[in-house]
A and B are shown apart, each in its own frame.
Chain A
Amino acid sequence: MSKVTNIEEAVRLVQDGMMLGLGGNVLHRSPMAFVREIVRQKRKNLRVVKTAGGHDVDVLAAFNCLKSVDAGFIGYETGFGLAKFYRKAVEDGTIQANEHACYTVMSALRAAMANVGFMPIKGMVAGDLITQNDYFKIIEDPFTREKITVVKAITPDIAILHVQEADEDGNGFIFGPKYDDILLSNASKKIILTTEKLIPKSRSAMNFKNVDIPGFLVSAVVVAPRGAMPGSCDVMYDVDSKALKDFLSISDLKELNLYLQKYDHQDHQFR
């Protein structure tokens, strides 16, 4: 049976307080259309995990949807600057920034993937990240008796991944860099794919060896052309620098709502 649904229905799978794993990296291939629909449906207290986030986390922060963010880096790249809304919310104490080294996010997801409670990390040996965060502990290796830092598993309730092509069963193809999407797909309880293009099953079957996200793991498929905008999506489009700069110059709620409205039509093309 087809897993294709529209974006409003797919976002209804997201409940307040859930832990979401967002695909892509910084400004590349983030599930922005889905993120904007989360905002429109006014989800609250969400927790987000990602090695390196950017505009996605900043939009969720701007509209007050977040409780915490587990990440190694949150920012736009050189030239755009800091994630303005995320930064302000952390400084105000409304979002808890759980800083990781990017690798410790991966290790926490690897633990979830293997269904164990924690994962040892070789390189995490000193500093305030270990002492100030309760998700790191230093324990004794039971075999060598040496000290080792471990990170607590992070199991996203839903991974939201934006891909270039998928079929109605959810077999997804990523073009270009895959970033941490495969890891997220294996660590999460559910997967929702948003895809630039829906392709026939006959076509994905011809190319089955290159499927990146196996359909049997996927709960829903949303057709979302230009769904990573204003970020980039390899092969399809590069970043919309003007839209990002405009967003970062916003100073009130009215302008924030205008940002959302600008994408209303584009985000709801397939109902």
Chain B
Amino acid sequence: MQNYNKSKSIHPADVMILQLAAAIEDHETVFHGVSSQLPMIAAKYAKAKHAPNSTILNIPGGVNSKSRNLSSYSSAGKEEWYDSESIFPLEKVFDLSMRGKLDVAFLGGVQFDEFGNVNASVIGDYRKPKVRLPGGAGSAVLIPTVKKALIWRTKHDKKTFVPKVDFVTTRGNVYRIVTPLCTFGQVGGKLVVLEISPLSSKQEVIENTGFSLSLDNVSIGVLPTQAELLLIRKIDPQGLRYLEF
């Protein structure tokens, strides 16, 4: 693993949570899926901080679950169902997105290229893959329909950001890709770096990205404040946000 920690007390996961949470506005409907601890914490953070009227939806069907006891291994279990305002199962969340009423969805992926193609399916050939990945889950229908598709990936290297993805699980309408090194957006169909992590540098981003980037006018983000870190730790006392690192 690369040496991210220039500042000893701040982990890249903390910066990523703030980047993801910043994309959530008040009154928005927000969905996260399975194997999604980092987004789950980011959504809870946004709701606790600047988006108190947002609605958080999940796979088991809990609406704004207030459960304090987060599962140590799952973002799709009973913990996210109990202490909810109402029950709105996954099937209905998808239908909501199809009707254009889902504002934010958190999605994964393993390879990305500069045109915003997302691969969560296979490395190599689809029928005879070198690596069979878990699969895109809801991505292929959510990225085209949700207003803001937020992608997170805890690896940022040349195997992740490639000239051409091996398989296009889905494409288009990528609002943000947040990594430990930077945050991408999409302009004119192409991925552009919007901000570099305060724990990284322009050089590190360039060295770890497999396609060319223009970073001339890109700024380095600010470090999280003590108050922001305290709130993250309050929401995630177990440190689930580090699971993927």
With A73-B135, A101-B138, A127-B169 given, is the CB distance from A91 to B128 under 8 Å? yes
Q: Contact between B81 and A176 (Cβ–Cβ < 8 Å)?
A: yes
Let me know if B19 is at the binding interface, CB within 8 A: no
Contact B136 A123 (CB under 8 A): no
Q: How far is the CA of A101 from the CA of B120 in the complex (A)?
A: 11
Asked if A126 contacts B34 (CB within 8 A), the reply is no
CB pair A91 B73 closer than 8 Å: no
- Residues of chain B within 8 A (CB-CB) of A75 are 35, 134-135
| A51 interfacial by beta-carbon distance below 8 Å | yes
Tell me which of A73, A79, A176 contacts B78 (CB under 8 A): A176
Is the beta-carbon distance between A97 and B138 smaller than 8 angstroms?
Answer: no
Given contacts A79-B243, A104-B141, contact A179 B135 (CB under 8 A): no
- Bound-state Cα–Cα, A71 to B120, Å: 13
Task: Tell me, in angstroms, the Cα distance from A205 to B141 when the chains sit together.
Answer: 40
Nearest CB in chain A: distance from B71 CB, A: 8
Q: Which of B3-11, B20-28, B89-97, B183-191 contacts A (4 or more CB under 8 A)?
A: B89-97
Q: Given the complex of chains A and B, what is the CA–CA distance between A178 and B77 in angstroms?
A: 11
Chain A residues, CB < 8 A from B168 = 126-128
A15 to B97, CA, bound (A): 38
Q: Pick the contact of B77: A28, A78, A104 (CB < 8 A).
A: A28
Asked if B141 and A123 sit within 8 Å, CB to CB, the answer is: yes
**A176 contact set on B, CB distance < 8 A:** 60, 78, 81-82
Least CB distance, A193 to chain B, in whole angstroms: 20
Within 8 A of B (CB), among A161-214: 176-180, 183
Instruction: List, in ascending order, chain B residues with CB within 8 A of A232's CB.
Output: 74, 77-78
A83 part of interface (Cβ distance < 8 Å): yes
On whether the beta carbons of B135 and A74 are closer than 8 Å, the reply is: yes
Asked if A82 and B134 make an inter-chain contact with CB atoms under 8 angstroms apart, the answer reads yes
Q: How many angstroms from the CA of A32 to the CA of B172 in the assembled complex?
A: 38
* A73 & B243 in contact (Cβ 8 Å cutoff): no
The verdict on A91 contacting B74 (CB below 8 Å), with A25-B59, A72-B138, A123-B141 known, is: no
Chain A residues whose C-beta falls within 8 Å of the C-beta of B89 in the assembled complex:
177-179
| Chain A residues positioned under 8 Å from B170 (CB to CB) | 101, 126-127, 129
Say yes or no: is B142 at the interface (Cβ < 8 Å to chain A): yes
Size class of the contact patch on chain B: 35 or more
Choose from B91, B128, B140 the contact partner of A101 (Cβ within 8 Å).
Answer: B140
The A-contacting residues of B in range 66-80, CB under 8 angstroms, are: 71-78
What's the minimum C-beta distance from B33 to chain A, rounded to whole angstroms?
8
Query: Given A26-B74, A78-B37, A178-B61 in contact, is the A123-B126 Cβ separation under 8 Å?
Result: no
Q: Please report which residues of chain A, range 61-97, place their CB below 8 angstroms from some CB of chain B when the two chains form the complex.
A: 71-75, 77-80, 82-83, 86-87, 90-91, 93, 96-97
Q: A123-B140, A126-B172, A128-B167 are in contact. Are A27 and B127 (CB under 8 A)?
A: no
Please judge, given known A-B contacts A93-B127, A128-B126, whether A78 and B60 are in contact too, CB under 8 Å: no
User: Smallest Cβ distance from A92 to chain B, in angstroms?
Assistant: 9
Q: List 16 A-B contacts (CB under 8 A).
A: A26-B34, A28-B60, A28-B78, A52-B137, A71-B135, A73-B136, A77-B34, A77-B73, A87-B132, A91-B130, A122-B145, A124-B144, A126-B172, A129-B136, A179-B60, A232-B77
Given contacts A26-B74, A104-B140, A127-B170, 17 further A-B contacts (CB under 8 A): A25-B34, A73-B135, A80-B73, A82-B132, A82-B134, A87-B131, A91-B130, A96-B127, A103-B94, A103-B142, A104-B141, A122-B141, A122-B145, A123-B140, A123-B141, A126-B171, A129-B140
